[in-house]
Structure 1
Amino acid sequence: MTTASKRDGDVEFVDDVADAVARAQQHLRDRQAPAGWWKGELRTNVTMDAEDLLLRQFLGIVQDDELDQAARWIRSQQRADGTWANFEGGPGNLSTTVEAYAALRLAGDEPDEPHMRAAREFVLAGGGLEASRVFTRIWLALFGEWSWDDLPSMPPELVLLPSWAPLNKYDWACWARQTVVPITVVATMRPVRPLPFRLTELRAGTGEQRRGGLIAQGFHMVDKALKLYDRSPIQPGREFALRQAAEWIIARQEDDGGWGGIQPPWVYSILALHLLGYSLEHPVLAAAVNGLDMFLVHETTPDGMVRRLEACQSPVWDTCLTVIALLDSGMAADDPAVVSAVDWLLGEEIRVSGDWAVRRPGLEPAGWAFEFANDGYPDTDDTAEVVLALHRVEHALPHVKPAMDRGIAWVVGMQSRDGGWGAFDADNTRRLVEKVPFSDFGAVIDPPSADVTAHVVEMLGHRGLADGRPTRRGVRWLLDAQEPDGAWFGRWGANYVYGTGAAVPALVAAGVAPDDPAITRAIAWLAEHQNADGGWGEDLRSYTDDAWRGRGDSTASQTAWALLALLAADPDHPAVERGVAWLVAQQRADGGWDEDLYTGTGFPGDFYINYEMYRLAFPLSALGRWLDYQDAGPG
């Protein structure tokens, strides 16, 4: 390991860091909700807003003020080249631009206006509507702008397949299955409710683009057969399948009216039940539509009020990370802010079974979900981080132990056969579903990932379970998953900086020596990718272009992730002090940090997230751990 010393005697620098920590702590205190939780805004892209308007148009409930405010937001996000991107600073995205364009047409923007003309030129240059994703074309088909005949067949009989059969609904990841089941209903009903305008100006006349390969060709043949069945006057089992789909959907509605706490299954479930005859006054649909309003963010801008929709909300995740940050930075475990947050987290523990039990039927329900209301889908990532937070306060709040023990047992029971952990399901690895023609909307399975596995291993290590077989298997999985250059892939955060920032502290907590070759290669990778300004950043294009691996403008959250790894394995590394100095220099006067760039990942290569709390919690953790090391000294 490196032997470069800290700034021994540099009291002024240490004091600057301590002041930054104090300001960040106060900023978080000021943001805490009276009930004890923290929640930052979760930003994605304008397809959320476009689809919300199109949904309300289809249901006949869109209001003029909603339309004006959402359109104002969508216009504000258009780039100078006329496109809309899926993340800040990213390239224009054709499907996102198509949906934004359609929403603005709905709001009254005319095709010959400059901003619309620029968007149209980009779409046509990229292949037109014909080149858009299947989900975009489903929205177009709802309004007669695309033929249902030209979409892949999506039979509702899928819901009847047993869990052992290929392509059954549990082969999809939880977020995908909750979307696919209602989509099969919508695609079977094939509704058309024309818009007051046409979108023919977005057609390039190039024909639909198809995937290649033998498996894709096989699915194409199956699709042709299913289309013949769709037109057959005799369809045994179809009505039964539709009823079963409706029952499956309704059984998974959450207390907030939604499904899975995320936008895609929510809107498609509303459409499916509506088309099956459920009125908007029916309690199920009334709760669903009203629940969407809780995901709306209203903001006053110089151009007027804007309205945007969060794709999801993350209070459990935000709260446990914030508690860890506050404790890392020296706040007492019995501080009222911590106690209030812990009590709220304990109240969010899930004690009912969900879809995860299909693969683990004998496992006792426990764990935590990401959202306010998502009892059907706790996840191992949130549960591991909540347990890590509770572990830190157990000495002062011993009543947290039963919930911790249940959470640990549930997470251990969710370990996949290969030793790693996925987020929501165990052994959700059947890649055949990725080849289905309508599976072009991002990640559709939930295999073990380095970041989730790392968080679980770190939790088990800190709980004194490093020598247990589940931990040892998790460590082996992580070591096997390390990239040749020393980094780890980040499934749920951007990207190799996130994966490496999670894996190194986990391995150290599980007993891997800091001078182990796997650790030293990871530290060398982080040092090599530190920016000249002292921070770290990684552009989301690293998911699709290796030239961006570990490279991008410095951000507060990514700098903190790198520091957390370095502090765990080599706190005297010269890169550490430069990173700490960058965080201190970038802090706002109110104790927070700015971060316009997206550092969260929904679906690698397709869907990205800007977590407002990442720029607050992770830097505080990093600065707090650095200060703690100054107090403790080497060794």
Structure 2
Amino acid sequence: MESARRGIAFYSLLQTSDGHFAGDYGGPHFLLPGLVVAWYVMGRPAVMISPAQQALMLHYLRVHQQADGGWGTHIESPSTMFGTVVCYLAARLLGAKKDDEWIKEGRDFIQKEGGAVMTSSWAKFWLCLVGCMDWKGHNSVPPEMWLLPNWFPFHPGRLWCHCRMVYLPMGYLYGTRFTYFDAETDLLIQELREELYCESYETIEWDKTRHLVAPMDNYSPIPVLMKVAQNFLSLYENWGIFSPFRNAVRKAGLKYCLEYMRAEDLQTNFIDIGPVNKALNMVSAFHVRSHMMRVPDYLWVAEDGMKMQGYNGSQCWDTSFAIQAVWECGLLDKFPIMSAKVWAYLERTQILSTETSQSSPAYAYESCENRDKFYRHVSKGGWPFSTSAHGWPISDCTGEGLKGVLALMDSHVITDSVKKGVLKNIDPTRLYDAVNVILTLQNEDGGWATYENNRGFGWYEELNPSEVFGDIMIDYSYVECSMASLTALAEFHEKFPHHRTKEVTFAIRRGGEFVKSIQREDGSWYGSWACCFCYGCWFGVEGLIKTGEPTSSSAIQKCCEFLLSHQRPNGGWGEDFTSCYDKDYAENGMKSYGDDGSGVVNTAWALMALSAANCNNVDAIRRGVQYLMKRQLESGDWPQEGISGVFNRACGITYTAYRNVFPIWALGRCAATYGDVLDTPETKV
């Protein structure tokens, strides 16, 4: 257990004063450019991005440029037009000079691929906002869609919330044809109009460019049905015959969009659900100062410069996992200060559950009337991915937060501190609220999605307009969300067996049936939120075992066989984001990072699944443990390797916390499961 203890001792140094663990949640390249465009069109206020921050952002863009001159959609992606156009645009807006060598290389890449008319729709949207593309070159995003009756099969309120909350301000800005007010006289914008295209800006027939997209961007080609709809909407936007009707409904649609964005701003304390709609809402909003105060929530400085994170952080998510890892190592009482600070953080972060949060404007939106009006699921009692101020609860974050509290609540460190008034008590009624959130989020198929129940249909993907992302249109049930939710219910039921007993046990059983139903033929589970099959297998195995599935069952044994078949010669496991992209195990593992294709995070996930299943191949477990111990640094840290997170199938995202939390957890679990059987001079964990 010494190796695990050293790992915890190091990781505790990264704990902040409020109790969460600091970590990088960057990776996507299209986030920072959106913020930069918003800053530029709003007049370049220094309070939003200071000169020092501009320099750090330029450094980030420069160090992530690839050898071919382009940028990827994320930091490990090969160059794409999406990544290159928006990063080039951001660099120039931040002050990079036209004749700088790295800027020339980026421009050459864009020109070689046909110019910015060949980039994907999200990049085109930013170009339109800043005045570097005519709105006729962008497909319609009609705000009047929100006026459709709620029963309409493709009402936008049925979309996955991240998709919905991005296209909400897009609809408003498209409907008003918002363009940077100084675009026609700004010399930099005039230069960009020359640099980004292969022909004269004035001669481009914009309407003919709407469907153009470079093959490298076309991960999710726009289906025929959506192209037909877009062509009809183009007629709707441009034919005079539609003008009287369009003008009447557009005014009402724009009014509703503003009202909805206002609600989103207040519910999230001007953080908003994510970085894309944060930037778009900021351009659309009247409360600009309140928005600007929340820009730093998204910014992170690391050795590669300043980036915009994929959320306002992963604080609650990382912290919930970390304390469960320490608990499973049996070391809570050995790290009393850390444990107490985690308790304080989880207590403070439960959504709309503290006096402070219940006195905020967000609390008014928890009423049934407002939740129905703005398509929000119940929030009170859930836990977020990041902070309480963010305000959006998620099924798996609620599950992991609840498990973190349950792990801590019987610790002497916590009980003594609560009695002395040093820590606040978490009343059981607050845990009941969390259980209510989880129960209400279970889908009809028995699984759990992310933020909401599945409100739409699979055929919505036939209307996916993004080109660069897959499976974004509805909130699907996932093995990760399902395991986190059902295991939280199971652990809650062990401590509170008389609370909603029938509902809880029924939900657990249905959840287990769902998890088993989506197991792949080869025994694996596809992980949608990290790389990929090792991650999915850990969730799948753990979920089934919590429902009472015997470790000898065929489902569990098939998963063990799958994982063992992918163990690499050095004892580790490794995958990169291409597993998610291709939906097929990346046989080359992480070879591009050295160490024979293995990585500490994937190895930890595989070991956690195998040890949960009580795998009888002790030699494989021993070799995996030896690999983790060999890779541990003298400080107790582990090296940062490849990107471990993913979203929407095609975009990698960084979770630096994973390299610490999961090796600690795996070592603790293996030691508890196998004990002295693993002991060799190399495996005294």
- TM-score (normalised: structure 2): 0.82
CA distance in 1, matches of 2:275, 2:656: 18
- TM-superposition CA deviations, 1:448-481 (whole Å, max 9, x none): 0111112222223334479822111111111110
Offset of residue 382 of structure 1: 0.4
Q: Give the CA deviation at 1:586.
A: 0.9
Of 133, 136, 144, the residue aligned with 2:123 is 136
* Aligned equivalent of 2:643, options 559, 575, 598: 598
Provide closer, same or farther for how the CA distance between residues 446 and 212 of structure 1 changes in structure 2, counting only shifts above 3 A.
closer
Q: Does 1:614 align with 2:658?
A: yes
Residue aligning to 1:581:
626
- The equivalent residue for 1:13 is none
1:480 aligns with 2:517: yes
After TM superposition, list the pairs within 5 Å mapping 1:291-440 onto structure 2.
Answer: 291-299=294-302, 306-312=305-311, 313-332=313-332, 335-351=336-352, 353=366, 365-374=380-389, 376-396=391-411, 400=426, 401-436=428-463, 438-440=465-467
Distance 1:433 1:514 in 2: 38
Amino acid at match of 1:422: A
Instruction: Determine the C-alpha separation between the residues in 2 that align with 1:364 and 1:21.
Output: 36
C-alpha distance in 2 between matches for 1:289 and 1:164: 37
- 1:93-122 CA-to-partner distances (Å, cap 9, x unmatched) read 221111111122234445554433433343
Cα distance between partner residues in 2 of 1:498 and 1:300: 27
Q: 1:462 aligns with which of 482, 485, 491?
A: 491
Which has the higher mean CA deviation after the structures are superposed, 459-468 or 313-322?
459-468
Seen in structure 2, the aligned counterparts of structure 1 residues 154 and 163 have a Cα distance that, compared at 3 Å, is: same
Change (3 A) 1:78 1:272: same
* 1:38-89 C-alpha deviation (Å, 9 max, x unpaired): 2312112332222222221111125544333211210011122222223444
| Aligned counterpart in structure 1 of residue 92 of structure 2, from 81, 105, 124 | 105
Equivalent runs, 1:513-532 vs 2, <5 Å: 513-532=550-569
In the alignment, what sits opposite 2:166?
Answer: 179
Cα distance change, pair 379–358 in 1 and its aligned pair in 2 (3 A): farther
SS in structure 1 opposite 2:154?
A: coil
CA shift for structure 1 position 123: 3.0
Q: Which of 512, 519, 536 is the equivalent residue of 1:499?
A: 536
- CA shift, 1:226, in A, is 2.8
Equivalent pair of 1:356/1:377 in contact (CA under 8 Å): no
User: Following TM superposition, by how much is the alpha carbon of 1:180 offset from its aligned partner in structure 2, in angstroms?
Assistant: 1.0
Distance 2:541 2:453 in 1: 23
Matched residue type, 2:440: G
Q: Does 1:286 align with 2:289?
A: yes
Cα separation, 1, equivalents of 2:127 and 2:378: 43
Alpha-carbon deviations, 1:243-276, whole Å to 9, x = none? 2211111112157743434201101111122xxx
Q: 1:440 to 1:166 in 2, by over 3 A?
A: farther
Q: Tell me the secondary structure at the aligned position of residue 297 of structure 1.
A: strand
* 3-state SS of 2:601 partner: helix
Verify: 1:33 aligned to 2:16, yes or no.
Answer: yes
**Aligned-partner Cα distance in 2 for 1:517–1:612:** 35
**Which residue does the alignment assign to 2:132?**
145
Q: Secondary structure at the match of 1:236?
A: helix
1:266 matched residue in structure 2: 278
Call closer, same or farther: CA 1:492–1:546 in 2, change over 3 Å: closer
Q: Which amino acid aligns with 1:492?
A: W
CA distance in 1, matches of 2:452, 2:431: 20
SS of the aligned residue for 2:192 comes to coil
Cross-structure match for 1:240 = 252
Equivalent in the alignment of 1:509: 546
Cα deviation, 1:414-441, whole Å, max 9, x if unaligned, reads 1001111001011234345434464445
Q: How far apart, CA to CA, are the structure 2 residues paired with 1:79 and 1:104?
A: 15
Q: 1:168: which partner in 2? A: 155
How big is the shift at 1:526? Answer: 0.7
Tell me the residue number matched to 2:681: none
RMSD of aligned residue pairs (Cα, Å): 2.8
- Aligned-partner residue type, residue 263 of structure 2: A
Question: Using the alignment, how far apart are the partners of 2:303 and 2:480 within structure 1?
Answer: 37
Q: Which amino acid aligns with 1:24?
A: G
Name the residue aligned to 1:224.
234
Distance 1:229 1:402, change over 3 A: farther
Code of the aligned partner of 1:507: L
User: Secondary structure of 1:589's match?
Assistant: coil
Cα distance in 1 for partners of 2:135, 2:375 equals 38
Which of 538, 562, 586 is 2:575 aligned to? 538
Contact persistence 1:357–1:363 (CA under 8 A): no
Gaps of 5+ in 2: 184-188, 200-207, 214-220, 353-362, 416-424, 495-500, 591-597, 679-685
Are residues 1:450 and 2:479 paired? yes
Q: 1:106 to 1:406 in 2, by over 3 A?
A: closer
Contact 1:497 1:550 in 2 (8 A): no
CA displacement at 1:185 relative to structure 2: 0.7
1:501 Cα deviation after fit: 1.4
Superposition deviation, residue 444 in structure 1:
3.2
Q: Residue by residue, what CA displacement relative to the aligned partner does 1:291-318 show, whole Å, maximum 9, x if unpaired?
A: 10232233577xxxx4322231111111
Residue of structure 1 equivalent to 2:72:
85
Cα drift, residue 215 of structure 1: 1.5
Shift of 1:578: 1.3
CA contact (8 A) 2:601 2:662 kept: yes
For 1:434 and 1:144, locate their aligned partners in 2 and report how far apart those are by CA, in whole Å: 30
CA distance, structure 2, for counterparts of residue 184 and residue 216 of structure 1: 17
Matched-pair contact (CA < 8 Å) for 2:36–2:94:
no
Partner amino acid, structure 1, of 2:316: V
Task: Please give the per-residue CA displacement for 1:122-141, whole angstroms capped at 9, x wherever unaligned.
Answer: 33444432221111001111
Query: Which residue identity is paired with 2:264?
Result: R
Distance 1:504 1:52 in 2: 40
CA distance in 2, matches of 1:243, 1:389: 42
Residue type at the aligned position of 2:639: D
Shift of 1:583: 0.9
Q: Secondary structure at the match of 1:154?
A: coil
In the alignment, which residue of structure 1 is the partner of 2:216?
Answer: none
Distance of aligned partners of 1:375 and 1:71 in 2 relative to their CA distance in 1, 3 Å threshold = closer
Q: In structure 1, what residue type is equivalent to 2:330?
A: G
Quick one: structure 1 residues 447 and 572, their matched pair in 2 at CA, closer, same or farther if it must change by over 3 Å? same
Letter in 2 for 1:197: E
Structure 2 distance, partners of 1:362, 1:287, is 25
Q: CA deviation at 1:175?
A: 1.4
Structure 1 unaligned spans of 5+: 1-17, 279-283
